[in-house]
Structure 1
Amino acid sequence: MYYQQQTSHPFLKIVVSLPSMVPTCRGILDRGIQIEGLGMKSFMTYESNILFPLRFMIDCDVVGGNWIEVAAGMYRRTARKLSNCQLEFDCLYSHLVSHCPEGEYSKMAPIRILSFDIECAGRKGHFPEPSHDPVIQVANLVTLQGESQPFIRNVMTLNSCSSIVGADVMSFNTEREVLLAWKEFVREVDPDIIIGYNICKFDLPYLLERAEALHIAEFPLLGRIRNSRVRVRDATFSSRQYGTRESKDVTIEGRVQFDLLQAMQRDYKLSSYSLNSVSAHFLSEQKVDVHHSTLSDLQNGNAETRRRLAVYCLKDAYLPQRLLDKLIGQSIKVLSQLLWKANQKNLVLPNVKQAGSEQGTFEGATVLDARAGFYEKPIATLDFASLYPSVMMACNLCYCTLVTPEDARKLSLPPECINKTPSGEIFFKSSLQKGILPEILEELLAARKRAKADLKEAKDPLEKAVLDGRQLALKVSANSVYGFTGATVGQLPCLEISSSVTSYG
């Protein structure tokens, strides 16, 4: 953090036997230790707040979703399987060969995506409660990443249900059988990703609480690690832009949950009303309207009325699958890119204490009001390609090139070596020291250029979908670097960078 004339400093690396010991260790150092002859001394810790899987990935040069190779003779099959994975073996971590995602290794693995939806029979005038109200249907669609149509499409119903063209209908006499059938289905299908509409706040917690109410002890074993139960905890997402939202964190070991409702509310700032409009837009060709107040009546009717409910349930499982094709995923973690780049350069990141709103704010971009009207003459539209990333690269804006006001006074800085930004901050030019953030941005934009060039040449629909997803993700990733520096409740805020970017812009 900040430009330093010294090329290196001595650091002490502390290794503990379990990840859970890291916060304890950090707390001791933060609070301070009584040292004989020196008194009470506290220490700044570095990279002590990194998630353990990310720490492992950085140390082993592994990036998300890339290909790993283990040479013949360098691994052994496990005698007793600890997971439900199709392959399980032991090897030394140093024997992993991580392949850079380029050429043949840029292809996606055939990730399995399960999209599901549940229906519950609530009492008149009451929102369904898992302690009282049964789960009456579960609809499932399983798709291989990149394919337009699911290869499994089924619905599990409580009591009989008439057949549905293009879907398997599985009927059960008891709710217990429905829940156990779904649990077994998840284990057999072995999805990598579980998606749905409001699944983290409603569907998954409801299924778990309902199974508990019915005393189905084995139901929460939905993950890939044997005997590891699904964990649910209350969570809040807070930011200046979106305010505070309450949600739930659902952990299913070895499977990723992606809630389309939460993603769209966050990425598109949509209300539930406008989300329903989006839903209708994607599904107008097969809209089946069933009001929530009629669910119990349809369930209590006959096989035909339950069929109508099942078609509605299947539609709600199909919707997230369609929406997923239109979305570009959650915001990319800038922190992991910083850590990787810092690791390559023999640098460590400080563990900055969460200062929250104490850090103050910065002036955002200028947005001019449109002059509405009818224009007879054409209007030229001029747009900068990647404006904020371009500013950061051109002006070498980074944590490690920022000069503190104190250093600016002490050091006699030659004007040709520094940039003074319109907001009054001082950064060293790249001729003296290249910043890490500009390097990350250059690589992201270069990778996007390559992905777009490959996209033009690609013929295979799956390859085209993957490359288009990649170039969009790289664009989001480059644009989120600026936001990362301005997030005062984030991992490494630096308002001097973000205010400089908007002032230049």
Structure 2
Amino acid sequence: MTQAVYPGFILSRQQVNHKGQLNLCFWLKTEQGVFRAIVEAQTPVFFIRQSEVEKVTHILQARKIHTDIRDVKLKHFDGEVVCACYFTTAKRLFDAKRVLKGQCALYEDDIRHHDRYLMERFIKGGVWVTGNYVQKLGYVQINDARLKAYPDYTPQLSVLSLDIECSGEGILFSVGLASSETQCVIMIGAPQEGDEYIIWVADEIELLYTLMSKIKELDPDVFIGWNVIEFDFVVLAERALALGIDLILGRDDEAIYVYRGNYVRILISGRVVIDGIDTLKNATYHFESFSLANVSKHVLGKSKLLEQDNRLEEIIRQFNEDKLSLAAYNLQDCQLVLAIFSKLKLLDFAIARTRLTGLELERMGGSVAAFTNLYLPLLHRSGYIAPNLGEHGLSFDSPGGYVMESNPGLYRNVIVLDYKSLYPSIIRTFLVDPLALITGLRAPADAITGFNGGVFSRVHHHLPELVARLLHARQEAKLTSDPMLSQAIKIIMNSLYGVLGSTGCRFYDPRLSSSITLRGHEIMMQTKAWIEAEGYEVIYGDTDSTFVCLPESWNVKKCNDTGLILMNLINERWREYCDVTLQLQSYLEIEFETHYSPFFLPTIRGDKKGSKKRYVGQVLDKGHHKLVFKGMESVRSDWTKIARNYQEELFEALFREQDLFEITEQYINNIRQGKVDGLLLYSKRLGREVEMYTKNVPPHVKAARNHMMKNPSIKYRKGQLVAYTITFDGPRVDAVRSEIDYEHYIEKQIFPILTMLPNYENVFFKLTGQKGFSF
């Protein structure tokens, strides 16, 4: 193989010092197999102000740190020319950063060179690669490699689901592996008759060597699992270290490396580790609990063989007494993760995200990093380097989204008009952009006035075009039925404002973020004025949604027709305003999609004012009536199931004009008679280790501590869900019926929901008039 050009997809990236020079290593998945591309003799770089070249040169020469300082025709945001400092190794760059810290300002010094190499070439996962090809054992190495972006390449990746079982101290019991083609459990213990998928080993050492052998045999591109990065692989690495074993999992026979920084990273050369929980959250899935048991039940309709949250005691028992059951449990966890990834297309989402942002496949979160990847190379081509955090010296807070006071009450007909991607549309329409800001401030005469001192150039900008490309790509994704790509684009677009408003982003400037949010306020208030000028009442508005009350006597068709008329009217008004007043093209687009009948806006508890971000309405969905709750107890995880069930039944009755007293009385009686004890559980996740709570100890922590005191073998950890009941002695995990404080649930879970309804006093009066109820 010599000098051919092949398409591939980047699995992993790293930079290594080799014979006094910096080499970049990219592992690629291609149709011809796995390639290891070596880009040789690289020079990592950071930037300094031209005025400090002499000072920097003197300091580095005194420390015998060699650098090559060059003019690069780039400027700082304040207009001063900058120079680039190139180094032959990453170590020299790090040494230079260390001695120059506090002596002068360094720019873009935190960007890893392998990221910069890809970023500046607009490489986002897919590449064309060429170079000198050498066949190695299990892969092809490409020396003197050259990479070029191939945006449309989509890889076919092999996936292996991994799950371990161990003691509370991390002593390994077994490791499960499952793919679409094979499955096995490596179990410590004497061989037993049973399923053939079990590989019996004598001890932990043999288990780890067997695991290495199986992974070499199966040769996966991607490992998946549930909390697999911060738990499973960390435990495997720690046990290998304790036992004096090099855990060789890389394709080049290199050991696993655990990086602990702001987050844990698992580095395995030529392979990727993707966590199911992180991927679900980044794909904006919402679950009451992200435990495998809960997600599996909701997504697959399947339960785990061991479902209790404190299952360690049972795992230890099975390891000692029933290894076949433990193996079945271990393997099922692998299979459930594999099935969830397959059904929800989570790997497709991760690939789509990489193809859009250039971030590593396993990198979750990272909105700031994604923005930098997308924006920085464009900025360089405009002749500027990125500023450091807070150099503008501005510290005022940008306001949040517009939320108007609501008019509480029960309505027969309410329509909702939503702005489509409001903040991205504001960026695109009003040219809100870091480069546009600094160039607009220098030439404000023909610029667009923003808010809080923001002024934006009509000519020099990149974000509006980036938004346009993302919108076009999302439309293409919808037309080609690619929901994962569409979702990834939506998430990235919606993150643009958040990144500009984040003090952790080098492009943060409150003039940018406030010129988005305050423009949003202006848009929402003007929308309200236009609608009211047509004779309709606006009863609520929130960020990008406007709620309009229509006459009670109108039927569904007339309400829908009015929604479309208002939609077209508002869109035309914005086109006229932007064109005539600002000489801009409007990309603002309001849509009518929802007709609620009935619709209810509650008051703030204990007040007559309308509540914000809380409502419930009924919609017609595929011929069936459906309740939609926003911010109410039925959609909040910190309320019990009894409260959620009661609220849903109560509003169904309210909207159908049925008797609310009978429902409330039945719920109260069922609680007091102990008929619904299973619905009285509160649940909350531990944000810290239990012992870290000192001053304010919330109920779920008290419940966990009490349970651990009674059961020394049980240990609650950070991130674990604690389910508890309120008893006469406080919150308890293992409460029995005689201990439950039923009056607590009536007062704290039933009455607050009842009192938000109109004329609730009538129900209270009936309740207090019988059976000794007293409030």
Q: Which residue of 1 aligns with 2:134?
A: 77
SS in 2 for 1:484: helix
Alignment of 1:38-53 (within 5 A): 42=104, 44-53=105-114
Deviation of the 1:259 alpha carbon:
2.2
Paired residue type of 2:505: G
Deviation of the 1:250 alpha carbon:
2.7
Deviation of the 1:398 alpha carbon:
0.9
The answer on 1:494 being equivalent to 2:529 is: no
Cα distance in 2, alignment partners of residues 214 and 27 from structure 1: 36
The answer on 1:427 being equivalent to 2:455 is: yes
1:445-473 residue CA offsets vs partner (Å, 9 max, x unmatched): 11222222222xxxxxxxxxxx3222221
SS in 1 for 2:416: coil
Paired residue type of 1:176: I
Q: Which residue of 2 aligns with 1:292?
A: 312
The answer on 1:129 being equivalent to 2:169 is: yes
Cα distance in 2, alignment partners of residues 490 and 267 from structure 1: 22
1:141-198 residue CA offsets vs partner (Å, 9 max, x unmatched): 23xxxxxxx222222222335545xx83322233322211112222333322222111
Q: Which residue of 1 aligns with 2:333?
A: 316
Q: Which residue of 2 aligns with 1:464?
A: none
Residues 176 and 29 of structure 1, relative CA distance in 2, 3 Å threshold: closer
SS in 2 for 1:116: strand
SS in 2 for 1:13: strand
Q: Which residue of 2 aligns with 1:116?
A: 162
Q: Which residue of 1 aligns with 2:125?
A: 65
Work out whether residues 396 and 434 of structure 1, in 8 Å CA contact, stay in contact via their aligned partners in 2. no
Q: Which residue of 1 aligns with 2:249?
A: 222
Paired residue type of 1:226: D
Instruction: Indicate which of 176, 181, 186 corresponds to 1:139.
Output: 176
Instruction: Indicate which of 172, 194, 202 corresponds to 2:231.
Output: 202
Work out whether residues 229 and 275 of structure 2, in 8 Å CA contact, stay in contact via their aligned partners in 1. yes
Residues 308 and 358 of structure 1, relative CA distance in 2, 3 Å threshold: farther
Deviation of the 1:24 alpha carbon:
3.1
1:187-216 residue CA offsets vs partner (Å, 9 max, x unmatched): 33332222211122221111122223333x
Residues 361 and 310 of structure 1, relative CA distance in 2, 3 Å threshold: farther
Cα distance in 2, alignment partners of residues 206 and 109 from structure 1: 30
Q: Which residue of 2 aligns with 1:158?
A: 188
Instruction: Indicate which of 393, 401, 425 corresponds to 1:390.
Output: 425
1:31-77 residue CA offsets vs partner (Å, 9 max, x unmatched): 43xxxxxxxxx3x4433221221111134x2523203142xxx5231
Q: Which residue of 2 aligns with 1:342?
A: 379
Q: Which residue of 1 aligns with 2:400?
A: 364
Residues 490 and 322 of structure 1, relative CA distance in 2, 3 Å threshold: farther
Residues 174 and 26 of structure 1, relative CA distance in 2, 3 Å threshold: closer
Cα distance in 1, alignment partners of residues 280 and 515 from structure 2: 30
Cα distance in 1, alignment partners of residues 302 and 288 from structure 2: 21
1:414-471 residue CA offsets vs partner (Å, 9 max, x unmatched): 3xx23222x32322242xx23111122111111222222222xxxxxxxxxxx32222
Q: Which residue of 1 aligns with 2:469?
A: 443
Q: Which residue of 1 aligns with 2:297?
A: 280
Paired residue type of 1:347: G
Work out whether residues 200 and 250 of structure 1, in 8 Å CA contact, stay in contact via their aligned partners in 2. yes
Cα distance in 2, alignment partners of residues 5 and 281 from structure 1: 51
| Higher strand content, 1 or 2 | 2
Cα distance in 2, alignment partners of residues 294 and 306 from structure 1: 11
Range 4-13 or range 477-486, more displaced: 4-13
Work out whether residues 418 and 428 of structure 1, in 8 Å CA contact, stay in contact via their aligned partners in 2. yes
Work out whether residues 298 and 309 of structure 1, in 8 Å CA contact, stay in contact via their aligned partners in 2. yes
SS in 1 for 2:206: helix
> What is the TM-score with the length of structure 1 in the denominator?
0.73
Instruction: Indicate which of 421, 429, 435 corresponds to 1:400.
Output: 435
Paired residue type of 1:484: V
Residues 8 and 372 of structure 1, relative CA distance in 2, 3 Å threshold: closer
Work out whether residues 115 and 141 of structure 1, in 8 Å CA contact, stay in contact via their aligned partners in 2. yes
Paired residue type of 1:48: D
Cα distance in 2, alignment partners of residues 6 and 169 from structure 1: 62
SS in 2 for 1:365: coil
Q: Which residue of 2 aligns with 1:177?
A: 206
Cα distance in 2, alignment partners of residues 272 and 191 from structure 1: 32
Work out whether residues 394 and 510 of structure 2, in 8 Å CA contact, stay in contact via their aligned partners in 1. no
Greater relative contact order structure (CA < 8 Å, 6+ sep) = 1
The answer on 1:260 being equivalent to 2:276 is: yes
Cα distance in 1, alignment partners of residues 228 and 409 from structure 2: 44
Residues 267 and 66 of structure 1, relative CA distance in 2, 3 Å threshold: closer
> What is the TM-score with the length of structure 2 in the denominator?
0.49
Q: Which residue of 1 aligns with 2:140?
A: 87
The answer on 1:212 being equivalent to 2:241 is: yes
Residues 354 and 110 of structure 1, relative CA distance in 2, 3 Å threshold: farther
Work out whether residues 77 and 385 of structure 2, in 8 Å CA contact, stay in contact via their aligned partners in 1. no
Residues 49 and 471 of structure 1, relative CA distance in 2, 3 Å threshold: same
Work out whether residues 107 and 386 of structure 2, in 8 Å CA contact, stay in contact via their aligned partners in 1. yes
Paired residue type of 1:153: Q
Which segments of 5 or more consecutive residues in structure 2 lack a partner in the other structure?
Answer: 1-74, 351-363, 521-775
Q: Which residue of 2 aligns with 1:462?
A: none
Deviation of the 1:97 alpha carbon:
4.1
The answer on 1:248 being equivalent to 2:248 is: no
Work out whether residues 23 and 49 of structure 1, in 8 Å CA contact, stay in contact via their aligned partners in 2. no
Residues 14 and 5 of structure 1, relative CA distance in 2, 3 Å threshold: closer
Q: Which residue of 2 aligns with 1:459?
A: none
SS in 2 for 1:347: coil
Range 195-204 or range 395-404, more displaced: 395-404
Paired residue type of 2:498: G
Paired residue type of 1:336: N
Paired residue type of 1:299: F
Residues 225 and 366 of structure 1, relative CA distance in 2, 3 Å threshold: farther
Q: Which residue of 1 aligns with 2:551?
A: none
Work out whether residues 418 and 426 of structure 1, in 8 Å CA contact, stay in contact via their aligned partners in 2. no
Cα distance in 2, alignment partners of residues 359 and 162 from structure 1: 69
Deviation of the 1:258 alpha carbon:
2.0
Residues 9 and 363 of structure 1, relative CA distance in 2, 3 Å threshold: closer
Work out whether residues 257 and 267 of structure 2, in 8 Å CA contact, stay in contact via their aligned partners in 1. yes
Identical positions, percent: 23
Q: Which residue of 1 aligns with 2:556?
A: none
SS in 2 for 1:12: strand
Deviation of the 1:347 alpha carbon:
2.9
Which segments of 5 or more consecutive residues in structure 1 lack a partner in the other structure?
Answer: 33-41, 123-127, 143-149, 237-246, 456-466
1:293-330 residue CA offsets vs partner (Å, 9 max, x unmatched): 111221222xxx32322222122223333443265443
Cα distance in 1, alignment partners of residues 407 and 91 from structure 2: 57
Work out whether residues 186 and 200 of structure 2, in 8 Å CA contact, stay in contact via their aligned partners in 1. yes
Cα distance in 2, alignment partners of residues 346 and 418 from structure 1: 18
Q: Which residue of 1 aligns with 2:581?
A: none
Structure number with greater Rg is: 2
Cα distance in 2, alignment partners of residues 156 and 8 from structure 1: 62
